[in-house]
Structure 1
């Protein structure tokens, strides 16, 4: 998927100015399809989190069933103990009457047989309930282990992303106050760089300070090969008025995202398959475009770092 997205961006950038309108529209439609796929993957991540919560709810219900089964077993045990005590008393009576009356003995024998039949039935019920209780206990322990493992993996991912956020903040500390922010939200790390740090107006050529910031970011990413990296280009809503090389803000934002990817790829320790470039144009603003300050905030590059969820998905499928 990521390779398709990158290929789409590159083809869009190369052929925008030289292909027919029909081909360009086809490429643009394909680009929109890839955007929808990206949204679908985000929804899938939210579904995985919802599944985890549902598993916890199921675990609580199973615990309630287990507790109820324990109570029923105890009640059966108490009934069994009472019947056994009654049986023992009758047996003593039987021994006493045996010396005096054959009629009383016969009656006592019948009572003993009935009582023994009741005891046997209770023993069978108790054994069946104990078996069901053991089965519930084993299932509860198995579910608990899988939930604990899932929580451990999620905690590890969160801790790793927190450590990654701190490492990036430390690496980019020289650029504080220059339009660069680093945040951790929803298990992801977001690095936002305003265009004043990276590009001149209407350009997609990265300046000296911007290149230095991206290279430092790349050094941290090289030490974290299990992180997916999405680079998004954003513009304000002022129409692009540059050369004929680009058709508008969307093309410009794509070019800028691809320029960041090109710098990151200069680091041989970053896996290319982890990188995705996307142009968002003016359609994902974070501030009002009614003021110069707001437009400046909207002209930015966002780098979104996401942990790979293969291990979590596997655990969910096993539940």
Structure 2
């Protein structure tokens, strides 16, 4: 009986041992499978963590770009505002410039009108002188307009004898015609200039060509005043000597041209300003 009990116990232990080993094998297999799954999950987790890190880095980069774009946008808005201010100021400056140009153009037109009227007066004076003197084929008399000034050039052989400052009778006739014209133009003043060549003077009582040119100019002025009634306040007498030649003194022809008396006729300065003021009142300009 005792042997049977021992046998039963041993059989039971053997059976139990067999079942546990099988289960152990199954558990071991399950453990291996679980471990594999764990390893797989770990790899995936690591991949996810890596992806997360990359996404976070990309997200930070995008945030940085957004911040940069916002800053750039703010700068652009500020620049647009500044540009708008500059454009407005530019428009104001342009308008002021246009107004200034209009004013300058108006001033130029007014001055041009005054100069045109001055030239018209000078042209009328020249025509009057030419009409009064008559024969302009005479090479001893020349009437011209230069830069708004009327000139009457009379050669010395018509006015004076050689080395003298006494006016000839023929010259008195010409001066009388000139006086008639200038007396009809009370708004004009004139300068009588004496000119000589460079040959030294040898006449007694006359120091040099300066002296001769002045004496000839004063002689003409006195004739105009005393014999033809030209107001002395309108006249100036001056001597230029040999220092303003119109030709070379190397030959007799050139010296002859340089020996001359020039009457410079010009409007009074205040009279010319009156022309400008009259132009300012012109309704066509204003």
Does 2:241 correspond to 1:281? Answer: yes
Cα deviation code 1:35-81 (max 9, x no counterpart): xxxxxxxxxxxxxxxxxxxxxxxxxxxxxxxxxxxxxxxxxxxxxxx
Change (3 A) 1:136 1:240: closer
CA distance in 2 between partners of 1:208 and 1:175 (Å):
19
Question: 5 Å matches for 1:194-233?
Answer: 194-233=155-194
1:290 aligns with 2:233: no
- SS for the counterpart of 2:201 is coil
Larger Rg: 2
**Alignment RMSD, CA only?**
3.2
> Aligned residue for 2:27?
none
Matches of 2:236 and 2:176 in 1, distance apart?
17
4+ long deviations beyond 6 Å = 124-134, 313-316
* Distance in 1 separating the partners of 2:123 and 2:275: 23
- Structure 2 equivalent of residue 262 of structure 1: 222
TM-score (norm 1): 0.53
Assess if the C-alpha contact under 8 Å between 1:250 and 1:281 holds in 2. yes
Equivalent position SS for 1:174: coil
CA distance in 1, matches of 2:198, 2:262: 17
* Whole-Å separation in 2 of the counterparts to 1:299 and 1:137: 54
CA distances 1:206-262 after superposition (whole Å, capped 9, x unpaired): 11110110111111111222223111111112211112x221111111100001111
Question: Deviation at 1:153?
Answer: 0.5
1:188 paired to 2:137: no
Matched residue of 1:239: which SS? coil
Q: Distance in 1 between matches of 2:243 and 2:97?
A: 53
Unaligned runs of 5+ in 2: 1-84, 281-286
* Equivalent-residue separation in structure 1 for 2:275 and 2:183 (angstroms): 26
What is the CA–CA distance in structure 2 between the aligned matches of 1:239 and 1:187, rounded to whole Å? 34
Map 1:1-319 to 2 at 5 A.
139-174=100-135, 176-243=137-204, 245-266=205-226, 267-268=228-229, 270-310=230-270, 311-312=272-273
Q: In 2, distance between residues paired with 1:235 and 1:136?
A: 54
- Residues 125 and 205 (structure 1), Cα distance of their counterparts in 2 relative to 1, 3 Å cut: closer
**CA-to-partner distance for each residue in 1:106-145, whole Å, 9 max, x for gaps?**
xxxxxxxxxxxxxxxxxx9999888777665654444333
Alpha-carbon distance in structure 2 between the residues aligned to 1:218 and 1:298:
24
Shift of residue 158 of structure 1? 1.2
TM-score (normalizing by structure 2): 0.59
Q: Which moved more, 1:305-314 or 1:218-227?
A: 305-314
Give the number of aligned pairs.
195
Question: What per-residue deviation string (whole Å, max 9, x for no partner) do you get for residues 187-217 of structure 1?
Answer: 1111111111111111111111101101111
